[in-house]
Amino acid sequence: MEKDYLFFCNHCGLPQVIPNFIVKTYFLNRFVKGFYCKNCNDFNAIGNLTREMIARNL
C-alpha cells in the first residue's frame, strides 16, 4: 500500500501532503536539498535524518 507523506513547513507550520512517488523520487535523492512550501513559498531543507526515516519506512 503506497502511503503519502505529511510534512510540516518550518516557516508557516502548514502541513503538506507529499505523494509517495515524489518522496521516493526526489526526497531520497541526495542532490535534492529540500522542498518549497506551497503556502508561503519558503524553503524547507530535508536533513539526512529525515531521509533515513523515509528510507526505513519504504
Task: Return residues touching Zn ion (CB under 5 A).
Answer: 9, 11-12, 37, 39-40
Closest CB 26 distance from Zn ion, rounded Å: 18
| Beta carbon nearer to Zn ion, 36 or 52 | 36
Measure the CA–CA gap between 14 and 38, rounded to whole angstroms.
Answer: 9
Closest CB 11 distance from Zn ion, rounded Å: 5
Closest CA to 18 of 7, 31, 32: 7
**Any idea of the CA torsion for 45, 49, 55, 56, to the nearest 10 degrees?**
-150
Closest CB 40 distance from Zn ion, rounded Å: 3
